[in-house]
Structure 1
């Protein structure tokens, strides 16, 4: 461990430092548009083995192990909670193959790479190889947003990461259970009996806990404000109970519990999942900082040529071969197969779970398992940095990128929406109009604007709409309540600054008034749906103007005093939707979209 003096920092200060580093790294990564795991890795290594400010083993003592174990249990429960059978059944053939065929082959290939290249024992290789098939959904998502891949390869990578998250954790847990039993049992018969008993108890407890929670929530035995606390208490209870029967079987229990709840179709599932996602971000960040800070200089120096060869073998063989075999003779084009095969960034979950299992295996007498944490760090750092810098150029080389321009999704097929969409298309921006009423989309289809018929909050929309291509959302249907609901629900997806809504009709009765804190930002001159429609009917149109050195922003304002600016595309290609109080930046090359009176020749026609 780090040898620097650390006695000056008490456990409370150390705990606060871990939280600040984890969340701070996540925020800074968002600002810099880079994977958060790289910054967390650097922060943990700097304050740990680098400066010696944080030494988790000394500052948290005997509580460090239980803290990490509980955090990993919640992380694995979150992974199980994402495994929805309906989502898997609706997934494309390529995704099914990556999970059903690719995951087992990936486990075998990773285990072989660990044993023959890294030099680990079969026991350590089998456990670490299981969790290595997880490609990191928390890492894939920002990479996809940055690269802006075409819809199908993006869906393949995203769904593989989501579904393989619990599958990989489950594989590692099962392998670990086998190792535990084989190491502690005195005979083969006793080993088989202990393994069967432990797995049976873990499975029964997981199913029973999931069924009990789902039934209690569905029948309103638990009030809304207590659902999340009850869920976490049950989670910790079954984790501890299963562990008392067979050491570490609690991880299998909580994973099964999460899978059961994910498929129970609970009305409050979305709220539960959103809250646990927030908790998981905090826990994953904390665990990663703790594990990185707990690395010793000696352990880092143990990363020799075999570690480099292991990372190379995973990137060049253990990842591509299982993917190519799984997608062989499928309807996935060869270029997409290549991109998916050579894109496999690992994430924080890999390091967190690998670190825990490494410690447990060492405690069982498998000494070389102590090399698992540094190998996990090396693999994560190498794959995240590699794919973070190469995914976009490789995708462009293969012709698999969507438009680099910022897309806009408009909800509602009114004349105002169609006119705005046509103006945005003149800026070469991807635009789509969605409406649950098919008749409302007729004008958009006739105008050549891409449309989506259906509710964008439905599960079908999740599968068919490529939200990665759109960074702005404008809710402009004739139903203010629906606009508000959609804007509020999708704000976490797009970012609250990127969600806009047409002005709501002012209600004189408080009975019908919607809370002002809900909904999206105002757009344009803040007109209601009916005022916007009337403006188009009265001859107004959206006009696009390019600012130059000769025709400045002041010139434009003088020539169009009554114009209502709606959007601005900067010289750098950045799109800004404008509200009634938003200042226009302008500049040479900026292009403005504004609602103004139509030209005389058009008005007459």
Structure 2
């Protein structure tokens, strides 16, 4: 391991360094719009084998193994929580094919590539091949937002990643169980019996754990503020108990437990899953830094031409063959099949799970286990970088790129929102108006604005609306409580800085004011629903104005002192105005609500 610095870091300093590097790399990636996984890989390798500042085996010691095992158990449990079988039944036929046919084919093709190209033995190839089914849901989402794909290929890639996340982990766990049993059993009959016992035990403990938690939560035997801690403690308990009875069966148990809870229709499921996602991001970051720092230079030198050939075969042969066979004779057009076939980025979950299983296989005397982690790093780094730069040009070449400009979803149809949507379309910003009242969408449909008839928070919207093509939410209905609900619910997905709502009618009253943690930023110049629409009735209109070197924001403000600035678009993209005037430059287009030239007119 890394030995460039004499003396070990204190454990507390080591833990702090791991957290700072993991979270810092993700923040820097967000700022620079780069794949976070690449920056985490660079950070881990720099402090580990390159500079020798941090050596997990030296600085953390015996705690590293249990820490990684527990982190991977929680990651797999959260992966199980993402798989709602009802959503899978409702998904497109292409998604079902990619899961039902594609997962086994991907497992087989990946194992063949590992054995015949990378040179791994069958045991390591079978385990790692199962993990390679996972295409990385945490990596796919940012790529789709960046590439602005058309709705159907984006849905295929997104749902495949979500569903195959636990499926791939489950395949790896089962393959590992088989390897463990075959390695420790004396006869074939003992091996089969031990494998059956292990799988049955893990299934029973996982189902019992999921059923018990669901029953306790549904009967309100646990207060709301303790549900997530109880969830964590129960996950660790099931993992430890299953491992105690039969070694290495705990990962399968917690995955099954997550699957059960995901399909139990618990009222607080969304909040629990959201918190689990946040915890998983921290754990994945930590595990990734630990595994990268734990690699030594000798292991890195094993990444030779066979590694490059392995990555090339996975990207250019194994993935395309798997997808094209899975989608054969399906209604999915050939262009979309080709795009999905050539897009398969792997993420940090693959590295975390591969690192754990690689160490376990190596500890069992299977030498190829030590090569799994570096191969996983190479595959993840290569696919993330490749697809990060190639997905958008490929989508454009195939004619499957959506709008290049991030769109706006306006919740609530009205005279004002229709006029605002028309102004956005005028400056080539995609816009969608959603409303559960069909009559309120009539004006928007007549104006040629895209609409969604239904509740934007419904499951139907999740499947029908291409959310990945939109970056901003405006909640503009006549119901302040619903606007606040929409803004609060969608803020984690879109970012609180991109979620807006009309000013609440009684926000200035101390008795009715809501805490700042609820709702979005104020939109519409501080006016409410009825104020804005009454102005439209009086003859106010939405106007777009282009600034230049000779006509600045100050000139516009002097010319239109009563105008209400709503948004601006230009080189920096669309920005909704909330509060003070924004920074502008020549070429910026202002979108504002202006009074009629001769004063207000009666409606």
Corresponding residue of 2:584: 586
- SS for the counterpart of 2:101 is helix
- SS for the counterpart of 1:522 is strand
Q: Do structure 1's residue 364 and structure 2's residue 364 form an aligned pair?
A: yes
Work out whether residues 475 and 487 of structure 2, in 8 Å CA contact, stay in contact via their aligned partners in 1: yes
Pairwise CA distance, 1:313: 0.7
Work out whether residues 567 and 577 of structure 2, in 8 Å CA contact, stay in contact via their aligned partners in 1: yes
Corresponding residue of 1:575: 574
Corresponding residue of 1:301: 301
Structure 1 runs not aligned, ≥5 long: none
Compare 545-554 and 291-300 and name the one that shifted more.
545-554
Could you tell me how far apart the structure 1 residues matched to 2:513 and 2:40 are? 45
Structure 2 runs not aligned, ≥5 long: none
Pairwise CA distance, 1:573: 5.2
The RMSD of aligned alpha carbons is 1.6
Work out whether residues 10 and 59 of structure 1, in 8 Å CA contact, stay in contact via their aligned partners in 2: yes
User: 1:141-152 maps to which residues of 2 (within 5 A)?
Assistant: 141-152=141-152
Corresponding residue of 2:505: 505
* Cα deviation code 1:382-401 (max 9, x no counterpart): 11111111111111111111
* Cα deviation code 1:253-312 (max 9, x no counterpart): 000000000000000100100110010000000000000000000000011111111111
Could you tell me how far apart the structure 1 residues matched to 2:19 and 2:6 are? 18
Corresponding residue of 2:56: 56
Pairwise CA distance, 1:551: 2.6
- SS for the counterpart of 2:543 is strand
Could you tell me how far apart the structure 1 residues matched to 2:256 and 2:6 are? 40
* Cα deviation code 1:68-112 (max 9, x no counterpart): 000000000011111100110111011000000011000000000
Q: Structure 1 length normalisation: TM-score?
A: 0.98
Corresponding residue of 1:341: 341
- SS for the counterpart of 1:575 is strand
- SS for the counterpart of 1:595 is strand
User: 1:181-330 maps to which residues of 2 (within 5 A)?
Assistant: 181-330=181-330
Compare 594-603 and 468-477 and name the one that shifted more.
594-603
Pairwise CA distance, 1:604: 11
Pairwise CA distance, 1:30: 0.7
Q: Do structure 1's residue 170 and structure 2's residue 170 form an aligned pair?
A: yes
Pairwise CA distance, 1:599: 4.5
Q: Do structure 1's residue 437 and structure 2's residue 437 form an aligned pair?
A: yes
User: 1:31-70 maps to which residues of 2 (within 5 A)?
Assistant: 31-70=31-70
Could you tell me how far apart the structure 2 residues matched to 1:389 and 1:333 are? 24
Could you tell me how far apart the structure 1 residues matched to 2:462 and 2:64 are? 40
Pairwise CA distance, 1:600: 5.6
Pair 517,173 (structure 1): closer, same or farther in 2 beyond 3 Å: closer
Could you tell me how far apart the structure 2 residues matched to 1:246 and 1:422 are? 63
Pairwise CA distance, 1:32: 0.9
Pairwise CA distance, 1:358: 0.6
Work out whether residues 205 and 242 of structure 2, in 8 Å CA contact, stay in contact via their aligned partners in 1: yes
Pairwise CA distance, 1:51: 0.4
Pairwise CA distance, 1:598: 2.9
Could you tell me how far apart the structure 2 residues matched to 1:574 and 1:197 are? 58
Pair 512,552 (structure 1): closer, same or farther in 2 beyond 3 Å: closer
Aligned length: 603
Compare 443-452 and 42-51 and name the one that shifted more.
443-452
Corresponding residue of 1:465: 465
Pair 603,535 (structure 1): closer, same or farther in 2 beyond 3 Å: closer
Pairwise CA distance, 1:520: 1.1
Pairwise CA distance, 1:547: 1.3
Could you tell me how far apart the structure 2 residues matched to 1:492 and 1:510 are? 27
Q: Structure 2 length normalisation: TM-score?
A: 0.98
Corresponding residue of 2:482: 482
